[in-house]
Structure 1
Amino acid sequence: MSDSTTAASVGYLAPTRQVRIGDLRKKKATGEKWAMLTAYDYSTARALADGGVECLLVGDSAANVVFGYNQTQQISLDEMVYIAAAVVRGAGNALVIADLPFGTYEASDEQAVLSASEMMRRSGAAMVKIEGGVRIAPRIRALVNAGIPVCAHVGFTPQSVNALSGFKVQGRGDAAEQLLADVRAVAEAGADMVVLEMVPAEVAAKATAEVGISTIGIGAGPDTDAQVLVWHDMAAFPADGHRPKFARQWAQVGADLTAAAASYKREVAEGTFPATEHCF
């Protein structure tokens, strides 16, 4: 097998055994960076895991990219559970984290534990993710006390987009100290990791140095312990979709899929497909 074939089928530094939370914790201690991407179905999960991605996030961004809702607040726990279960089945050795959607954990510790338990029982995900810092720390503590691993999410939190008055960078200027307080609060509450979204790079670097849990950046500069992107942004799918400033495209999946569909349609219309070799 050639090196190029190996890279294509196995991926760069692909995990050879099941990735555990403790494995990612060790990477922080050694300074080894790791990668996370969103996934919303079995086949995509398989492809991303084969590429060596250590962690797959079943994000509530599925509301937008899978179901076509206008806001992430519109997706239900049932919808998230179904797609999370599909991702788990395709994830291979990757660790799977599933978002708890808006309205399923904010009201009480009991609601949070019940929602997270249902997510993990029905989907097989290894961890849940919830949004918020100081204000949500009691929920994190309740989940951890119930034996449920938690990934926190601070900075720009999409479920709070209306309260934040839109998609804005968080933690600038005087707000930096509040963001750092949020990171400290979720770490002290027992979260195993925390996503920092749309945060000034210097603030994210300071947060990463201050806490013992892994920090995962999305629009937070290069100094976090890991990086995460929505895979549709990473691979330009669809071709004409909006791309945030912090996302780079490593492929043009949308353009390639559209071109393939156009070629298929043309050959069907012209009668050149199916050809003799496609017949029984």
Structure 2
Amino acid sequence: AGQSFFASAATDGTVQFNNGMREGGPENGQFFKPGKTGKETATDTHRIWLNLTNDKGAFKQMLVGYVDGATNGFDKNYDGATFDGNIYVDFYSVNNQDKFTIQGRSLPFADTDVVPLGYRTTIAGDFTISIDQADGDLASQAVYIEDKTTGVIHDLKAGKFTFTTAAGNFNDRLVLRYTNKTLGTGDFEDTENGILVSVKNKVIKVNSARQTIKEVTIFDVSGKLLYNKKKAGTTELQIPNLQAANQVLLVKVTLDNNYTTAKKIIFQ
């Protein structure tokens, strides 16, 4: 076919290529010279491509694929790190703090799997995440985006997900998932029911009945950070004198067992 390609090496040395590395395939019809159809080995693959866009033309695509040979760790033959070459926006999955435009994950596919997503933007405003294509089991599997800032779990198969963001880097806001229920054991569900967020006379109170509060973060609906308290170390936290106008706020609570939930309040 005469295709060009790049190669990168983990160590110094000599690179040798030979015909034993050649892989044929039936999808070589874009070239004008006819040839024999190569043999192609069937691979168990389930992939989904997601696009991040805005109405000004910003665009970035990423891929998550469940494939034979991949693991949920780093695999040099399956995982592709983001080059972050777009000056306006980047979109990727996150695995052990690494950012991947392409991430291979292990088989068998299970709908309990969750994949953290991250993005970087120099533009504040509305962005949209949509499915470009999906194959294998993911063509028929339900697919959701969880927005931990707003507490929304959106069905991507039903339509695009639009959210508002400030400019910056966000690696812990979005999650790709395949069920619309918060993951965890029954104890986590009880823990969530034991969290109470209330506001009175512009004093926000966070109570946890069963676990110590680790961190509390407050955003406005545009995603702007208004308050952050790390290492709270208490089951009751009061937040007076928050500098915010009368509006809907999102209170993100993380417990010592790392369970996280987001609650909406009307601050007035």
Q: Same fold (TM over 0.5)?
A: no
- TM bucket by the smaller chain? under 0.3
TM-score, reference length from structure 2: 0.25
Larger Rg: 2
